[in-house]
């Protein structure tokens, strides 16, 4: 098994399951606006799809001698996916910390 293909498994468990479960529990507890949550999750899921698919494809073709621009392109696509997930995670953290219900619970 190649290194990149092994990364897909851990990324799927942590980013695809654990992070979304924690996010769901926080959103359910704080009763945030569904429209805002849907936009955040759309960006996050798009980032997951980009990252997972490019890591998976990169792992499949890792054993072949590919031109550098193809390998670099897959890494760049995965990086863009990680950036989208980071933006969605940061924005959701900001919204959660500034929500009225969160401020009531911390006081």
Interval 37-65: pLDDT, tens = 788 888 988 999 998 888 888 878 877 87
pLDDT at position 106 is 61
pLDDT at position 4 is 62
**For residues 43 and 62, what is the distance between their CA atoms, to the nearest angstrom?**
28
61, with CB counted inside 10 A (0-12, 13-18, 19+), is middle
Which residue in 69, 43, 56 sits closest to 12, CA to CA? 56
Cβ contacts of residue 106 below 8 Å, gap of 6+? none
Chunked into runs of 10 residues, the chain (107 residues) has average pLDDT values of 66 81 80 78 89 83 80 88 91 80 64
Residue 66 phi/psi, 5-degree rounding, is: -100, 155
Task: Answer yes or no: are the C-beta atoms of 54 and 83 closer than 8 Å.
Answer: no
Give the pTM: 0.77
Helical (H) or strand (E) element with 52: helix 34-60
pLDDT at position 3 is 66
């Amino acid at each position: 098994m190649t290194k990149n293909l092994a990364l897909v498994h851990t990324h799927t468990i942590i980013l695809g399951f654990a992070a979304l479960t924690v996010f769901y529990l926080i959103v359910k507890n704080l009763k945030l606006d569904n429209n805002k949550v849907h936009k955040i999750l759309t960006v996050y899921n798009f980032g997951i799809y980009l990252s997972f698919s490019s890591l998976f494809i990169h792992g499949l073709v890792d054993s072949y001698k590919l031109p550098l621009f193809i390998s670099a392109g897959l890494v760049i696509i995965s990086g863009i996916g990680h950036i989208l997930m980071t933006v969605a995670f940061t924005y959701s953290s900001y919204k959660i910390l500034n929500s009225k219900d969160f401020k009531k619970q911390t006081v």
